[in-house]
Amino acid sequence: MQPIVLFAVAGAGALGAVARYLATLLVRHWGGVGPVPVACVNIVGCFGFGLCWAFAHGRWSHPVATAVLAGFFGAFTTFSAFAFDGFELLEQRRIGAFVLNALVQNGVGLLAVWMGIAAGPARS
């Protein structure tokens, strides 16, 4: 492991964490409640990851690609917050909301990754 990669991931991770926090506040400001802010950030993050992966694949250096994908998007997407929201919905016995949240975030997240890759440059 190259030290430059670790520093790049750490720096990009810090930026991703701040971006996640600000994006979550923005969605809450627009009226997002419950798991909606986390879902929005996760879906945007999945799209961004797919798009950047499409651009990075074979074009970006290893440190840059790792920093963006593992660092920035690893910190920007919030799976742990998603899991906690699910826990809270189950604890509140809101089974329908739990199932809907899990299906939407996973299904639309996968679709967003695919769309991000498709929107990027053609792979050879």
79-106: per-residue pLDDT in tens?
888 999 999 999 999 999 999 999 999 9
Q: Per residue, what are the HEC states of 17-58?
A: HHHHHHHHHHHHHCCCCCCHHHHHHHHHHHHHHHHHHHHHCC
40-66: per-residue pLDDT in tens?
999 999 999 999 999 998 899 999 999
